[in-house]
Structure 1
Amino acid sequence: MTGKTRAIGKTWAIGKTWAYEDFTEGASLDLGTKLVSAAEIIEFATEFDAQPMHLDEAAGKASILGGLAASGWHTCAMFMRMLCDAFLLDSTCQGAPGVDQVRWKKPVLAGDMLRGSTTVLAKRLSKSKPQLGFVTMRSELFNQRGESVFDLENTVMFLTRGAAA
């Protein structure tokens, strides 16, 4: 994805830094695509999740996953990179208080092309810090066959435009 985007109503447009006001309930954002390579699956697994199905093609094929498969935690990390590149790094984001739900629905295999999207479910201003808003999102990754392989729901904190100025 090239360029910076921000929410306007239920559509997305090229523009300036994202702030709390730019998020609209029901609006969706395309997170772009990501090709998953065998090398990166093995590199991540070697460092963080050294189970055989994440390190070796034959072991992956012998498992219920059906091939060299990304760790679920690697899938989370790839999602986070896609989210950062799509808009988060160009925002007033102050972090997140946690993740409400994460599901790994299908294996992410070497050679898969992931496509991501995020939908705004709700938003509210903080009662104790009115310059801070909470935006609840549902994010999903799909493989090249359009199958949902991952979904996540969480709330992210963003400064209001006035507080960010």
Structure 2
Amino acid sequence: MAREHFEDVEVGETRTFGEREVTREEILEFAERYDPQPFHTDETAAADSLFGGLIASGWHTAAMTMELLVTNVFTDLAATGALGVDELRWPSPVRPGDTLTVHTEVIDTEPWNEELGLVRSRTTTLVDGDEVMSMVGLVLYERRER
């Protein structure tokens, strides 16, 4: 299959993909290592928190979103890496047993240099159609025409 280069990307292009169930065990494991706040690591404390139960770290949600992007989309792209993300938000928590899906929409493209183009895409992570994370990715793609 041909890889999608910068010239192939169109503003307004959308994709929806992935199904990834989130487990209690991985929420605890990730949080204990990288974000050890009580509502991520202690079910009793989490029950008494603003969230009313155990939730995944937003950083964990971002990592799971990246996993879905890589396994479902990036293998078909001539993407070389990212410059970062803008507008990262976690409007709703992710809980054990939730299933994540991802929706992307290309919102802008621009040449970066002679070899690369910059693609800005809004990525929205969903649970049962409700937004749990959003961000604008700044991804560099190889240009076919040099």
Within the alignment, does 1:159 sit opposite 2:145 as a pair? no
Which consecutive unaligned segments of at least 5 residues does structure 2 have? none
Within the alignment, does 1:135 sit opposite 2:119 as a pair? yes
Identity within the alignment, %: 37
The aligned amino acid for 2:93 is P
1:93, distance to aligned residue in structure 2 (A):
1.5
Within the alignment, does 1:150 sit opposite 2:133 as a pair? yes
Normalised TM-score (structure 1): 0.82
For these two proteins, the number of residue pairs brought into alignment is 146
Which runs of at least 4 in structure 1 moved beyond 4 Å after TM superposition? none
Which consecutive unaligned segments of at least 5 residues does structure 1 have? 1-14
Task: Determine the C-alpha separation between the residues in 1 that align with 2:17 and 2:34.
Answer: 25
Within the alignment, does 1:37 sit opposite 2:20 as a pair? no
**Partner in structure 2 of residue 118 of structure 1:** 104
The aligned amino acid for 2:34 is F
SS in 2 for 1:116: strand
Normalised TM-score (structure 2): 0.92
CA RMSD of aligned residues (A): 1.4
**Partner in structure 2 of residue 99 of structure 1:** 85
Task: Determine the C-alpha separation between the residues in 1 that align with 2:52 and 2:143.
Answer: 46
Task: Determine the C-alpha separation between the residues in 1 that align with 2:58 and 2:82.
Answer: 20
**Cα deviation code 1:98-146 (max 9, x no counterpart):** 21110000010111111111100011112xx2221000100101112x2
- Structure with more contact order per residue of length (Cα contacts < 8 Å, sep ≥ 6): 2
